[in-house]
Structure 1
């Protein structure tokens, strides 16, 4: 029997606002009939999109005029916008009225408010942002993707433990292989922090299936299931991957439009091109998780559409159904 779940939604977050979030909730409600939604946002600005989704009924709407914009400073959002759609949704998780929260809004504000309201799990010093990237062999979890620019070796070990549990729950991998991102695979390379982290991870090999150092070009090869790094390097790796994907699509588009023969070639190869596009569609991998908090918080990409937002909701549902927080607590105690 499916567990009854309640998820809070920041309706106003993201570039498209209610247009993407409400339709995404409607899509998710069909996939997850056991989930009820609490929607936080401007009711007047949302009515058009609610009317466009008449089959969406398993929700409550909580009106607020306040919302956090993409350029709002996290500190100001935390201190001054206490009735924002984001803050009210996170408060709902804190009060245990909701099992999780999903937002496509301001990442910095989301991290600041979530950490302030929910606090971190005992044994975790800092939350980390974890996301999923496609590989030649399937998918891999990467963390941290930008929450912590500077990290200690203790932070990175904690990220490794959280990433291990996340990979088991979300990707269904029984014994995830974990790699530590570095400037080289040799033990002599890297700064003092990654070298010490390497030694620390070797000491807990009974808890983790530690592969060793990996380089940036190893991330998408699929040799490891979890990539651990600081937020500075992780964010650069993520944005580089997004940029390369966009570059490839641009090159392909220009090549197919270059001549009549190329256009005919596109027509003949269109089924294969569509399979390729589907395989690396970033919307399929949408839903970065703020790991280490006393509550499930999922960050959707701000520019995604309803399909991508629906996938972010599915990530939250998976973590809740598999008791992610209690699993992390068990892992930390070992």
Structure 2
């Protein structure tokens, strides 16, 4: 049994989207249990519309909801201990839930998650990992906006955490990992990226297969299972991909309605266009995973609908079922143990 704590007030639409989304995910994963945190007067009637969800849930009233435009510092100062966002994260800290899901303010959610759960040992900065649709299927990209900038060690940490997530989500023994760069040659790029490449190449960790550098077009190709970058570049790449998908959809919509022959062609090829629409639907890959914390937190897009929120809950289910935290902890212990042995051997050789 997996228990998920949910900030049902988060996002642009709050419980009107979150609660139907939970019901959809429960249909797919009937073993789930939910701890729901929100304002009682806005949630009770909606929960009652879904009897299965009501039976699988425990509701907790909260006086405060973090707004989408609240500054993280304000949300942390005013929302601690009382808000639906804080209490859903705290349920993970206290062992009451396996994972937390919220569609709320990203900055506030990261600030609260980091303050409440703390980062893992030897992890300086957490990262947000996104599931990325590719020509091969799906890949993982991180960091897509948790922090700006990263040194070589942080990029190495992101690589290990991303590989652990790929093993949990895709059930791959040794996922391939690439560092996003301006070229695939080892002499190109920022020094931090080149140094991270050298560290990963020398580490030879059993939980991943280090591929080398990848470029921007490799994101869509699915060249590797995990693409690693710092948060500034990662967030730009994410927003660019989402905007491009919407742009292409608008182009197709306009072209298909321009003439009678175009409309007829659309009718004849409707099944192909339906498959294309499904492939380009951002709701299918909704759910950013906060990595590097002592607990799992899933961030849903704030403007998604019930199907998109259900997809985020599905990700939460998979991360908990495949024990993501243990995989990351084990990889980090193995890496740092090898680093310690290497340092001791170097000291001995020097006399």
Give the TM-score normalised by structure 1. 0.97
Alignment partner, residue 235 of structure 2? 235
Distance in 1 (alpha carbons) for counterparts of 2:83 and 2:66: 6
The C-alpha deviation readout for 1:55-77, integer Å capped at 9, x for no partner, is 32210111112101111000111
Any gaps of 5 or more consecutive residues in structure 1? none
Distance in 2 (alpha carbons) for counterparts of 1:224 and 1:64: 43
Distance in 2 (alpha carbons) for counterparts of 1:148 and 1:99: 25
Structure 2 counterparts to residues 68-87 of structure 1, below 5 A:
68-82=66-80, 83-87=82-86
Shift of 1:313: 1.0
Alignment partner, residue 202 of structure 1? 201
**Greater CA radius of gyration, 1 or 2?**
2
Structure 2 counterparts to residues 187-266 of structure 1, below 5 A:
187-207=186-206, 208-266=208-266
Distance in 2 (alpha carbons) for counterparts of 1:87 and 1:41: 11
Alignment partner, residue 272 of structure 1? 272
Any gaps of 5 or more consecutive residues in structure 2? 335-351
CA-atom RMSD in angstroms: 1.1
Shift of 1:54: 3.0
The C-alpha deviation readout for 1:33-82, integer Å capped at 9, x for no partner, is 22110100011112332233233221011111210111100011111112
Shift of 1:139: 0.6
Distance in 1 (alpha carbons) for counterparts of 2:257 and 2:110: 43
Are residue 58 (structure 1) and residue 66 (structure 2) matched? Answer: no
In the alignment, which of 3, 6, 12 is matched to residue 3 of structure 2?
6
Are residue 27 (structure 1) and residue 24 (structure 2) matched? Answer: yes
Distance in 2 (alpha carbons) for counterparts of 1:32 and 1:20: 18
Shift of 1:290: 0.2
Are residue 170 (structure 1) and residue 165 (structure 2) matched? Answer: no
Shift of 1:198: 1.2
Distance in 2 (alpha carbons) for counterparts of 1:322 and 1:294: 16
Alignment partner, residue 111 of structure 1? 110
Distance in 1 (alpha carbons) for counterparts of 2:323 and 2:271: 40
Give the TM-score normalised by structure 2. 0.92
SS of aligned partner of 1:126: coil
SS of aligned partner of 1:55: helix
Shift of 1:174: 2.2
What count of residue pairs does the alignment treat as equivalent?
Answer: 331
Distance in 2 (alpha carbons) for counterparts of 1:205 and 1:16: 46
Distance in 2 (alpha carbons) for counterparts of 1:146 and 1:53: 35
The C-alpha deviation readout for 1:15-47, integer Å capped at 9, x for no partner, is 111111001111122222221101000111123
The C-alpha deviation readout for 1:164-197, integer Å capped at 9, x for no partner, is 1100110122221111001111212111111111
Distance in 2 (alpha carbons) for counterparts of 1:71 and 1:275: 36
Distance in 1 (alpha carbons) for counterparts of 2:241 and 2:45: 36
Shift of 1:134: 0.7
Shifted more, 40-49 versus 240-249: the winner is: 40-49
Alignment partner, residue 131 of structure 1? 130
Structure 2 counterparts to residues 314-333 of structure 1, below 5 A:
314-333=314-333
Distance in 1 (alpha carbons) for counterparts of 2:326 and 2:222: 28
Shift of 1:280: 2.3
